[in-house]
Each structure stands twice: as structure tokens, then as C-alpha cells.
Amino acid sequence: MSDSDSNNPVLELRVALTAADYERLMRFYTTGLGLEPAADWSGEQGRVVVMEMGRATLEVFDERQAEYVDRLEAGARVSGPVRLALRVHDVRAAVDRLAAHGATVVQAPTRTPWGDLNARVQDPEGMQVTLFQAP
């Protein structure tokens, strides 16, 4: 999709995370997940790095569906109103890398009823992150 696609009212989704330990969270997403900084807008006012994450979608769940997914991926309702869900090439390898960079493994990779291989981790600042690998 190009920026000139007039059929879509939203051209880009950005998720902004605020970190108490900026360096640790940066290592988690760069070294751990493998994201590359695309822009560094840091200055006297503070630090910020933008990382490209490919295609973005927005999922809106009702409480029942959020409960269902959390039970599948974490055993209980643990995520707040926002949870990241990242499609990766190899869920098991991603979990291992992220665990080595500060992730708490909430649920090891497991096959979902819809066929994906999903795992749940928590980043060093507490954000629940679903890692999924489509069949």
C-alpha cells in the first residue's frame, strides 16, 4: 500500500512505548527481537528511536475474546488493554533470543486452535507480547 492510497484513512500505525530503563528496553527490541532503528529523533529533550516493523494491523477485542486469548497464551487474563502481537519467522528462536535479553516467558510456544504457533512473553517494562508464527 502506498501513501497515496486514498481508500485507507490511516497510512501508518505506530506504537509508542515509554521505558523507565530505556537502554534495557532498546536491547530487548533490537538485539533480542532483531529490529533495526530506522530513525533516531533523540535530542536534549530525551531519547526516541523509531523501528520499522513491517505491516501493521489493529485488532479490537471485547473482554470475552481477550480473556480467551490470554487463557490460551498465558493461562490467565494477564494483559492490559494493550498487547503487542508480532508475527515472526521462528517463534521458538524468538522466545530464546528475547529471554536472553530480559523477557519473562509467560507461555512457551503452543499451537492455537486456528493453527498458529503462539508464545507469550513480557518485555522488561511489563508489556505483554504475543509472538506468532503462521502455518
Alpha carbons 116 and 87: distance in angstroms, whole number: 10
**DSSP codes of every residue in 78-110:** ---S--EEEE-S-HHHHHHHHHTTTPEEEEEEE
| Burial classification of residue 105, based on how many CB atoms lie within 10 Å of its CB (0-12 exposed, 13-18 middle, 19 or more buried) | middle
Distances (CA, A) of 77 to 15, 46, 88, 98, 100: 22, 34, 23, 22, 25
Q: Which of 79, 72, 78, 35 is nearest to 54 (CA)?
A: 35
Question: What's the pLDDT score for residue 2?
Answer: 53
Q: What domains, with CATH codes, occur in the chain?
A: 22-133 (3.10.180.10)
pLDDT the model gives residue 58: 86
Query: What residue ranges of the chain have pLDDT lower than 50?
Result: 1
pLDDT in tens, 32-65: 999 999 999 999 999 999 999 988 988 999 999 9
Q: Extract the C-alpha cell encoding 1.
A: 500500500
pLDDT for 1: 46
